[in-house]
Amino acid sequence: MGKYIELTKANFDEAKSGVALVDFWAPWCGPCRMLAPFIDELANDFDGKAKICKVNTDEESELGAEYGVRSIPTLIFLKDGQVVDQLVGAQSKQAITDKLNSLL
């Protein structure tokens, strides 16, 4: 059973190989909380295929700044460490799934 990866500045390199979804979120953010169950499901759906990751922007503001996150939730899609796409705001699980499948 897959579980998303909590990323920090110290372990962000984990997301830099293969395909990764990085969810920049904060505990006080309503749309972020709406996305949370989808992120959990995607971690299971893509277990072994893509990394599903979360960054708490309250705790890791440097990472948010480094990736140009101006509002949350922001979903950044990485392929081999390069940003290949980004979605801002609440998204449907299907939209996120389609984007991940297109990168695999």
Catalytic residue check, 53: no
Cα(99)–Cα(86) distance, integer angstroms: 10
Catalytic residue check, 32: yes
Catalytic-labelled residue, pool 15, 32, 35, 39: 32
Catalytic-labelled residue, pool 19, 22, 29, 100: 29
Inter-residue contact 4 to 20 (CB < 8 Å): no
Q: Which residues are catalytic?
A: 29, 32
